[in-house]
Amino acid sequence: MRELWDIFRKGIIAENPIFVLALSLCPALAVTSSAINSLTMGLAVMFVITANNTVVSITRKIVNPKVRVPVYITSVATIVTVVQLVLQAYLPVLYKALGIYLALIVVFAIILARAEVFASKNKVTPSFFDGLGMGCGFLLALLSIGIIRELLGTGAIFGIKVLGAWYNPALIMILPPGAFILIGYMVAGFKMLTEHMEKVKLEKVKLERGEI
């Protein structure tokens, strides 16, 4: 249980797909102009990565290593198409808002990376939690970018006005340059956080050894 929690947790902070691994930055810039778009995209990716990790892990002994990449891609493409069909039928507005980026989930580096690095070498349960953790990390990263951009760019969150009329929206935040600037600052902030956490850990170890 403890192991599974560790696998799940590392995707959120220590190996966050966007802020630490810096994978799949393109959608992080493109679809985060509003919080609701970010949330849908994050959920879609979380579902795809978890389902794909599970499928890859189940089939890891049958799939021939020589053709594993085409098999993984087919698996991702199938799952993404299913998500697309479902969104188109039940949530057409969001389907339209995500546009081409939904189909592009197929080639997200993070999904193939988790299949190759983790799911193809591990049992089903850990692979499931690895996908879920990475997906959660991705979702949280996208959501935080989306909320900040929408708040600064339009004065609203999820389309609900939070800041009053006194606030003059900084338009640049919902345009692509704003995303670049914000992600830069957030990566820096994340680096500071992880460095601080490591320092605390190191001091704890030293303390236990009685060096201090």
Partner 1 sequence: MSDENNIKNKVNHEKKYSIFQIAMNLTVTCLVSGAVIAGTYFITAPVALKTAAKIKTDSMKSLVVGAQKFNPIKGKAEWFTAEKDGKIVAYVVPAESKGYGGAIKMLVSVTPQGKIINFDILDSKETPGLGDNASKDPFKNQFKGKEVKQLEVTKDPTKVDQIQAMTGATISSKAVTKGIKEAVQKVTQFVGGK
Which residues form the interface with partner 1 (CB under 8 A)? 33, 62-67, 70-71, 74-75, 77-78, 81-82, 85-86, 88-90, 92, 153-154, 169, 171, 174-175
Could you tell me the smallest distance in angstroms from the CB atom of residue 70 to partner 1? 6
Could you tell me the smallest distance in angstroms from the CB atom of residue 172 to partner 1? 10
Could you tell me the smallest distance in angstroms from the CB atom of residue 175 to partner 1? 7
Could you tell me the smallest distance in angstroms from the CB atom of residue 134 to partner 1? 23
Q: Which is nearer to partner 1, 16 or 33 (CB)?
A: 33
Could you tell me the smallest distance in angstroms from the CB atom of residue 162 to partner 1? 16
Q: Which is nearer to partner 1, 70 or 189 (CB)?
A: 70
Task: Output the 3-class SS for the chain.
Answer: CHHHHHHHHHCCCCCCCCCCCCCCHHHHHHCCCCHHHHHHHHHHHHHHHHHHHHHHHHCCCCCCHHHHHHHHHHHHHHHHHHHHHHHHHHCHHHHHHHCHHHHHHHHCHHHHHHHHHCHHHCCHHHHHHHHHHHHHHHHHHHHHHHHHHHHHHHCEECCEECCCCCCCCCHHHHCHHHHHHHHHHHHHHHHHHHHHHHHHHHHHHHHHHCCC
Q: Which is nearer to partner 1, 171 or 200 (CB)?
A: 171
Residue 203 tokens, joined:
């001091």
Q: Which is nearer to partner 1, 26 or 86 (CB)?
A: 86
Q: Which is nearer to partner 1, 90 or 166 (CB)?
A: 90
